[in-house]
Amino acid sequence: MSEATQALYLAVELVISMDAGLVEIVLLSLQVSLLAVAVACAIGLPLGALLGIARFRGRRLLISINNALMGLPPVVVGLAVYLMLSRSGPFGVFGLLYTPTAMIIAQTLLVLPIVAALSRQTIEDLNAEYDEYLRSLDMRLAGRLKTLLWDGRASLATAAIAGLGRAIAEVGAVIIVGGNIDHVTRVMTTAIALETSKGDLALALALGLVLVTIALALNAAVEILRAGAERKLHAGA
């Protein structure tokens, strides 16, 4: 048996037996990325919605910046957060470097532009459709935002899932601010990088399998949401 097939065999065994080390890493990954997406949504959805409906000078520029930030390289975000959180940095006193909190902060910054840009687009389109009706109701800004965020919920969920896909698959940011410390800040992507360089291909492959499965499941969820939205929400429109 070649080295690769043997590693694959061991990897499948690790997944099926729910190896404790593997499960720990997967759970921490999910915890960090889900929290990062939750924070990014709490900030990004209202911000994107506001950018979608408000009219002010410099709006176009802000939208361009927002779109450009979607392509932010994770290592650069990691480096920036590192500088902020390191001992000599402005937030060094909190001692957050090399903790899961630092990883959540870094991933939140990565996901925020995606959530804001996608929700901006969604809300802007919906607002064009609803504008005259909402004006006829004398709906104020807060009520309008609430209406649009709720009625755009299917597309906004898609934006959140897209953000989760980016967070869970990136390695650059979390390895810099997390440090890949065993049992503390080791997540799937950093473990794969480390185990591969150490030559422990079985664990790396097992984690790779789980990661690919999660990524595929997220994409499937987006497709299902999108199809459901087309069918249900646009019927008769």
Partner 1 sequence: MLAPETTALASFRSVSYASAGDRLLSDIELTIARQGITTIMGPNGAGKSTLLRLLAGLLRPTSGTLTWHRPAGTGQIETAFVFQRPVILRRTVSANIRHAISPLKLPDAQASRRVDAALSDCSLEHLRDAPGRRLSGGEQQRLAMARALARQPDVLLLDEPTASLDPAATNAIEQIALACADKATKVVLVTHDAGQARRLSNDVIFLNAGRAVEHSPAAAFFNQPLSQPARDYLAGRITITDT
Q: Which residues bind partner 1 (CB under 8 A)?
A: 129-130, 132-133, 135-140, 143, 147, 150-151, 153-154, 232-237
Could you give the count of Cα atoms lying within 13 Å of 220 in the half-sphere of its Cβ? Answer: 6
| Residue 146 vs 198, nearer CB to partner 1 | 146
| Residue 83 vs 139, nearer CB to partner 1 | 139
Shortest distance in whole angstroms from residue 166 CB to partner 1: 27
Cα radius of gyration rounded to whole Å, the chain: 21
| Residue 151 vs 200, nearer CB to partner 1 | 151
Shortest distance in whole angstroms from residue 237 CB to partner 1: 6
Percent helix, strand, coil in the chain, to 5, is: 80, 0, 20
Shortest distance in whole angstroms from residue 117 CB to partner 1: 22
Shortest distance in whole angstroms from residue 41 CB to partner 1: 19
Look up residue 136 and give its amino acid.
Answer: S
| Residue 55 vs 232, nearer CB to partner 1 | 232
**How many other CB atoms are there within 10 angstroms of residue 190's CB atom?**
23
- Strand (E) positions, the chain? none
For 21, which DSSP code? Answer: H
